Amino acid sequence: MTTLKTPPARTILLRGATLLKARPGRSRVMLVAALIALIVEFAGNSTGLWLMTLAAGVVAGAMRRKGAISGLVLGTVLAWGLGILMEGGGRTLQIAGVVSALALGTRGLGVAIVILAFVYALLLALAGAWLGAAGRRLLAGRRPAESPADYAGEAPRANEAGEAPHADEEEKESV
Amino acid sequence: MNARPARRPGRYLRPLRRAADCLGALIVAAVVMMLSTGGAGAVPALGPVLSPGTGVWRLSPDAGTAGSATIMLPALDKPGTVAFETGGGTHITAGTDQDLFRMIGFVDARYRLTQMDLERRQALGELSAVLGKSTLKSDTFELDLGLNRAAQRDWEHMAATDPARVTLTSYAQGVNAAMKQLETGHQLPTLFKLLGYTPKPWTPVDSLAIQRLMTQTLSFSDAAVTWSYAAKAIPHNVFDAWFPAVSANPQVPYDQGPYQNAPLAPLPVRADPARSGQGPQAAGAALPPNKTDLPPNKTDPNGHASATALGPLEERLGALPVNALNHFGNSNAWVISGEHTQSGEPILAGDPHLQLTLPSPWYQMEGSSPGYHFTGVVLPGIPAPLMGKTGGFAWAVTNSQHPVTLFYLDKTDPAKPGQYFWRGGWHRMGTLKYQIRVKGRGTVEHTVRFTAQGPVLSLQGVTASVWWAGTLPSTNLDSALRILRAQSFAQFRDSLRGWATPSLNFLYAGKNGDIGAVTPGVAPQVPGHEIALPLPGDGSADVAGTIPFDALPTVHDPASGYIISANNREVTGAYPYEYSTSYNFADPGYRAQEIADHLAQPGKQTFAQTAALQTDVQDSLAQDLNPYLLKALAGQPLTGQEQKVAQLMRGWNGSIDINSPQAFFFQKLNVRLSYVTFDPWWKSYNIPKDPLGQVAMEPFSGTFPTQIMYGTVLSWIQHDPGNPFFSLPDGTKRNATTVLRLAFRETVQYMTKKYGPDISKWRYGAHFDRVFPSLLSVKAFDAGPYPAAGDPRTVSSGVPVTSVQEATGGNALVNSSYTTNAAALNRLTTGASWRFIIDWGTGQVGAVLPGGDSENPISPWYRNGIPIWLKGGLLPVREGATADRAAAIRWRFTS
């Protein structure tokens, strides 16, 4: 008979910290970013602070991690989708229909209103991300030389030609 | 030796790229922020609108999700409850009288906040601040008219202990408590979120302004302007023959005399500056004049305007929202004494006709407190019911349509700009300046000008000012509160002594068996002048006073055993005062006649018969005219199609049914009959067509004058078949028979060509339909169209008061008026805004609103009354313990 051993809390914390300290892979970064974006944006929306979506984008953009932007997009869609569903429930499309009628003169474009909400949320997040990334690049450009510190714990990887990746090249993956 | 890495070719461009990168990011972020916080053009601020927590996704709590709850209402004296039946029937039980009005305010705001806010803004001239320039015409007109000034004056003149003042304050507390809860919970109705504003706190002045707006809807009439075109062109004796003071069809005045001929009473103006020639007679104080750049007047040297000079004024009035003017009257109310009912006690029926908007103009509720108990309908924004029942009596109202809107044509002189001639001298117009906020456009300055008669409404073509009773001081709320405590008809009538405007017919049925009616309200008198037409503004036609209250129409326990009011003239031609005429603006009286015919039938009346009569579509004019038509066709050579139609009309009972081809044919025939009779004369007198086309002869669509001419023609056919106006102006002899034949033949030809030869397809309901338009004129929120039955002469009637905006999808509060569009004329948008019947003998009470309690389009209570209303059904009115047992939702209020 096997017994399921629950690791002590301290062990769990240590493992978590190790995971964060370790060089995370792209998908892990994406998941962490998505989780953070989800929590921050959902909390922000719930309290009327919809600007938190933009703020989350700024943070994600400022990070130099592959997967951060994908995580931001995923988190944003989840945060807004969950929020809309929690508020509107089964009547979400009906509500969207009312908005569509008032704004566009027809109730039939409710789905378009829902899509608009998501597009708007992503616009907020990605505008923030570009802002964050641009700020990061600006700051990086003022430094005398590129240093490993710029990569915030992630060692620069060699490109196919064996050269260290240039900051600009890596940014292209982020934003 | 270390080799230096080769310099990258783009190295020097990098700072530029970074700057561009930053700039791009900043620009995009700024655009997104702008869209998020301020919107762009018609696009609202997207952040607060689309955000899940605060935006449109959060339902206002009335959208079918309302459940039982405990609600804090801080101003409450004692706990209370509001119980809702499954279909939304509302029952309020309060611990104190003032708590009752607080809870009414709370319920009104929870279910009708958009309606209340937009209506107060309309009344106060503040719509443009939230809707933009499209409502500017409405705002400037309302500021001219002065509902805001009247409401403010009323409030300032209420003593601190005045029950009306205390009640208004309590009501405002309830409204504001609900608004605060909605705002705190981000649950304001969707429109506020889309328009990006939060409604300002409710004040008692807002309630008074809404009261004045309904007064305007019921009593501000442009009939005098409209009729002036014909009146100026036609000789006086001809005008009287065509448009008699009392309509030619049989009349059923509820007060048949004898009448008092008492001296005129002074107007209820606390300080009547016009009497001393100091300034405006209308509400509000005028500032010293400071404008001297007025355009020159287009009057003739005698100060008389030509007919066409009134065009700009009519155009201005025609551009106003539907509810800014009274265009029609189709309310019914009648009471039957116990001697004529099967139950042995009185029956009262009432169905006030208004524009059938969604949400309804009314909110039905039961209110209970230590000092009050009623079931009735309130106007959201006003704390007390206008119709309903107490424990001891029931009452209903109809509009008394005698002229209270007097248009004055002022004499001005280009050499004396900003002045008008009055009582032998030149006087400067008073002025008031307003800064109107217009969304997206800053502010617009508007100057209100006054003559001694009132605000100037037109400076183009002719200077015209208006004396309108609707802004006179009136104790409406005080009267309404006193009515609720009346114990007899005498007390009921006495409660209405201070009721100056709007003039309404109040019909009363007591549990103790007495019935009565009274028509309170100012009825201005201008001796020696025709008040139904524009008057000279030189002081020769000033209002001399009003009919004293005790000489106004009234009746108590009449010998006939019943009282009928259907907007028809309340008195006979022997009434010794200036009163309504057939053309300004009483109803011709067909509906009253139809009701009287039913009540005069042998047998005792029951609740069911009364309900059937409320939905009756029998057209008495059709019933009377059809036999003459058939007689005129007898023995005549007819074409095959004419024979088919004649056969169709034989045996028709005059019912304007949905499935009746006869009803549709008759509508066209009736119009054509007037056209065939009058059009040659109309042309010979060169009667000008007014800008809105209201005064016109149209071959197959009825216009304003033809409504009266139908009765005139029928009367001539019945009693004067050789009337000279059947003949042509060139001397060609014709009589009633030849005119009937001609109209018949031309109508058959027209119908066959337009609707096809298959007469079974000429069904009335296939060509006339009914729509319940949304208050916002958002077509997606309308209900209908449904096939229609009835016409303006049937008890269950409908009038095509269709706004231009409805056709174009605009906003009902924006710029709308009558239209002569043929398709729109077949769309009925008015009708019984509430049907109510009580039989005091059986205790049976029924009522229905064509809509529901909620203004939210996705609420199950938005339009749930319509199917019942369309079938002519009534919902049981429950009270007390019965209502409590039927309650599905309860709100418990604590302080």
Q: Answer yes or no: is pLDDT of A23 > 80.
A: no
Q: Where are the beta strands (DSSP E) in B129-243?
A: none
Overall average pLDDT of the A87-112 stretch: 88
Between residues B284 and B26, the one the model is more confident about: B26
Partner residue facing B53 (CB), from A48, A91, A127:
A48
- C-alpha dihedral (B433, B437, B441, B442), degrees to nearest 10: 70
Which chain A residue shows the shortest CA-CA distance from B8? Answer: A166
Lookup result for tokens 């700072």: B15
Q: Which of A94, A98, A166 to mutate to test the interface with B (most CBs of B within 10 A)?
A: A98
Contact B155, B208 (CB under 8 A): yes
Predicted structure pTM score = 0.88
B838: tokens are 């009580």
A101 part of contact set with chain B, CB < 8 Å: yes
pLDDT(B421) > 60: yes
How far apart (Å, rounded) are the C-alpha atoms in residues B488 and B206?
Answer: 32
B183 by DSSP, 3-state: which?
A: helix
For B525-541, what is each residue's pLDDT tens digit?
999 888 888 999 999 99
Residue B844 · residue B863 · CB < 8 Å = no
What is the spatial order of strands in the sheet that B405-410 belongs to?
B456-458, B463-468, B405-410, B535-536
B47/A50 CB distance under 8 A: yes
Q: Which DSSP state fits B383?
A: S
| Distance between CA atoms of residues B661 and B644, nearest Å | 12
pLDDT tens digits, B355-364: 888 999 999 9
Which tokens go with A55?
Answer: 């703020």
Torsional class of B461: left (φ above 0), alpha (ψ -120 to 50), beta (otherwise): left
Give me the pLDDT at residue B435, please.
96
Mean pLDDT, chain B, as a whole number? 87
Phi then psi for residue B433, to 5 deg, are -110, 135
Q: Residue ranges of the alpha helices (H) in A47-175? A: 52-62, 68-88, 92-104, 110-142, 167-174
- pLDDT score of B697: 85
Predicted local distance difference test score (pLDDT) of residue A20: 52
Cα–Cα dist B826/B767, whole Å:
7
Inter-chain touch B29–A131, beta carbons under 8 Å = yes
Comparing CA positions, the residue from B591, B31, B503, B607 lying closest to residue B268 is: B503
pLDDT value for A91: 85
CB contact under 8 A, B857 and A98: yes
In the predicted structure, residue A149 carries a pLDDT above the cut 80 = no
Q: Are B712 and B244 in contact (CB under 8 A)?
A: yes
More confident: B453 or B273: B453
Q: Minimal Cα distance from B53: which residue of A?
A: A46
The reply to whether residue B32 touches residue A124, judged by beta carbons under 8 angstroms, is yes
Q: Which pLDDT score, from 0 to 100, does residue B619 have?
A: 93
- The string of DSSP codes covering B226-286 is HHHHHHHHS-HHHHHHHS-SS-SS----SB------PPPBPPS-SS-GGGGTSS-SSSSPP
Listed residue (B423, B502, B422, B424) closest to B456, CA to CA: B422
pLDDT, one tens digit per residue, over B819-868 is 444 455 677 788 899 999 999 999 999 999 998 899 999 888 999 999 99
Give A160's pLDDT tier (boundaries 50, 70, 90).
very low
pLDDT-derived band of residue B684, with 50, 70 and 90 as boundaries? very high
Give the pair of three-digit tokens for residue B45.
């601020």
Higher per-residue confidence, A31 vs B489: B489
Q: Is residue B443 predicted with pLDDT exceeding 60?
A: yes
pLDDT confidence of residue A5: 56
Phi and psi at residue B172, in whole multiples of 5°? -60, -35
pLDDT at B611 over 70: yes
Please report, rounded to a whole number, the percentage of residues in chain B having pLDDT higher than 90: 62
Q: What's the burial of A162, exposed, middle or buried (CB within 10 Å: 0-12/13-18/19+)? A: exposed
Asked whether the predicted pLDDT for residue B244 surpasses 90, the reply is no
DSSP lists the bridge partners of residue B427 as B420
Which position has the token pair 């990605």? A126
Q: What is the pLDDT of residue B811?
A: 37
Distance from B858 to chain A by nearest Cα, in Å? Answer: 7
Pairing of strands B554-556, B515-518: antiparallel
> Could you tell me if B164 and B473 are in contact, meaning their C-beta atoms sit under 8 angstroms apart?
no
